[in-house]
Structure 1
Amino acid sequence: MFFYIKRVEEAAYNASHLQNPINPGEPMTLYFIRNYASSAFFSTYSKKAAAMYYGPNYKLISKRKWTPEMHAYVQQQEGQVPQPPFKFKVNFFGYVMLLGVLALFGYLVYDSFIKPSHAESLMEQPMEKPVEANAIYFGHYEKFKEGERVASEVRFGWFKVIENKNGVVKIAPSTQLSAGHQDPKTLNSTDFEPLGIEANITEQAIYGIKLKSTDKLMEFNLTERK
């Protein structure tokens, strides 16, 4: 059943010593009843158990007819009524729904407040910007000997674009290059060789720019723009 409610008898006390307000002389029993509701998503018990007087044949006595003694007996006994095993509990499908709601809320927050706009995304991809004169990049080059496919020299450092004419880029290495990869901040990014090397752009994407010298003996892999 998707959703149901039932009454749970928590305690029962003999109240035959009290006067039955409907049929004097007939015995009464004081019951404490708690509501229990359950669905596929949650289960819950009512916080307070309701007091009810019943006569013979389980005949309910209206609360409007209770005597002061009956009210006093309820107050006397209600402290002995057991507490519910729990007041509210999320069931399996409730957790699934809760996770779904949290995921949706997280997505909405990200999409509305955190996710960069399209314009910001473009600004954050400097490697896709046009390769222009005076642009400075960090990366490395590989130098090959004629007819060989294994690089004879690899150097890491900063490179400056001297000019870009019709796709032919003249690029100058820094005066300080490293044989191994180092933190770009530790290498010179202001002083460059006066003569540049002519190269063609073979690939340009978010992650970097690749160039090959016009004599086919050097390959540049640029990964960061200053």
Structure 2
Amino acid sequence: MFFVINKIEHAVHSNDGLHNPKNPSNPMVLGIYRTQSKTALFTVYSKKAYGEFWDEVTQKKIPRRFWIPEMKAFASQKAAEAPQPPFIFKLTVVGWIFVALMIATMGLIVYQEVKPPVPKSAIYTAMEKAPVVGDIFFGHYEKYKEKRTPIGAEIGFGWFKIVKVEGSDFYLSKSMEMSKTSKPKEQLNSSDYETETLPALQLSEQTGYNIRFKSADGLTEVYISEKK
């Protein structure tokens, strides 16, 4: 962001009754100024004007340490007579856009904090509940001969039913109709299940969107995407 400070000249005054304290033979003048500060977002004028005495011959400013009381009084008088600035503080077009964006952002943050939570869907709520005997789920299983070796793995898509729970072990039966490829759940049998269960599985992940079971040896995994 750029930042510019301008020195605005309001008036120049002479006073024959005052003499240059540094070079008495050189005439001097009093300049009345105001500071203007500008950025991309705003413009600011100094509220009070101020005076500076200048040597007209050398064109150099006379330091304040050389000012006599009469010079200070004259400078204060003329500074007080200077016209008022057009404004003290004013936003630029970019500044107004920035303020509007900040207000919108803060409003959005406040809204996000106070708005009521979105009700969870029935499917999401059902998936969050702890699995129990009798629950029926849709998903797929992967059964490997060797850990992390997909060659020769058995994969099936369809419905699963929890038939037994012992501590942290879950025993799931596969539907009598399992597909080797992904199909819509409506096309697969969800009523008849095998009497033999998969190996004991432990719950390794559960959210409102998915449930994952995994055997202790890591060779069998069941991924659940929906509860019946």
TM-score normalized by the length of structure 2: 0.50
The offset of 1:194, in angstroms, is 3.1
Q: What is the alpha-carbon distance in structure 2 between the residues aligned to residue 138 and residue 212 of structure 1?
A: 16
- Identical-residue share of aligned pairs (%): 26
What corresponds to 1:197 in structure 2?
198
C-alpha contact (below 8 Å) 1:201/1:209 kept by paired residues? no
What amino acid is aligned across from residue 40 of structure 1 in structure 2? L
| Structure 1 stretches lacking a partner, 5+ long | 6-35, 42-90
Secondary structure, counterpart of 2:110 in structure 1: helix
Secondary structure, counterpart of 1:106 in structure 2: helix
Q: What is the alpha-carbon distance in structure 2 between the residues aligned to residue 188 and residue 223 of structure 1?
A: 16
Q: How does 1:89-100 map to 2 (within 5 A)?
A: 91-100=93-102
What corresponds to 2:106 in structure 1?
104
Distance 1:113 1:148, change over 3 A: closer
Aligned length: 145
What corresponds to 1:208 in structure 2?
210
Runs of 4+ in 1 over 6 A off after TM superposition: none
The offset of 1:153, in angstroms, is 1.8
| Structure 2 stretches lacking a partner, 5+ long | 1-36, 46-85
What corresponds to 1:130 in structure 2?
130
TM-score normalized by the length of structure 1: 0.51
What corresponds to 2:175 in structure 1?
174
What corresponds to 1:145 in structure 2?
145
User: Alpha carbon RMSD of aligned pairs, Å?
Assistant: 3.6
Q: How does 1:26-37 map to 2 (within 5 A)?
A: none
Secondary structure, counterpart of 2:100 in structure 1: helix
Q: What is the alpha-carbon distance in structure 1 between the residues aligned to residue 156 and residue 99 of structure 2?
A: 55
1:202-226 Cα shifts (integer Å, max 9, x gaps): 5123253333346765322223323
C-alpha contact (below 8 Å) 1:140/1:157 kept by paired residues? yes
Q: How does 1:14-93 map to 2 (within 5 A)?
A: 39-41=90-92, 91-93=93-95
What corresponds to 1:162 in structure 2?
163
Distance 1:185 1:97, change over 3 A: farther
C-alpha contact (below 8 Å) 2:168/2:203 kept by paired residues? no
